[in-house]
Amino acid sequence: MRRFKNLESLKNQITATRAKMNEIWNQRGYTDSEVLAVSIQLDHLINQYQQITYTKK
C-alpha cells in the first residue's frame, strides 16, 4: 500500500481512482471483478485519508 506524505496528492489519487471506478462501472456493470478491485483500492485510499486527518485533530 502506497503511503502519501502530502494530503493533497492523496485527495487527487482518491478522485482519480473514484473516476476510474465509475468509468469501469459504466462500461462493464457493477458486478465486474475489475470494478471490485478498483473499489478495494479506493477503500484503502479513503482509509489512509481518514487515518491521516483523524490523527491531525
Domain with 49 in it: 7-56
Burial class (CB in 10 A: 0-12, 13-18, 19+), 55: exposed
Q: What is residue 54's predicted lDDT score, i.e. its pLDDT? A: 85
Q: What is residue 56's predicted lDDT score, i.e. its pLDDT? A: 62
CA distance linking residue 39 with residue 20, whole number of Å: 9
Q: How many beta carbons lie within 10 A of that of residue 28, not counting itself? A: 12
More confidently predicted of 4 and 39: 39
pLDDT interval class at 6 (50, 70, 90): confident
| Per-residue pLDDT at 57 exceeds 60 | no
* Tally of domains within the chain: 1
1 inside domain: no
More confidently predicted of 2 and 25: 25
22 inside domain: yes
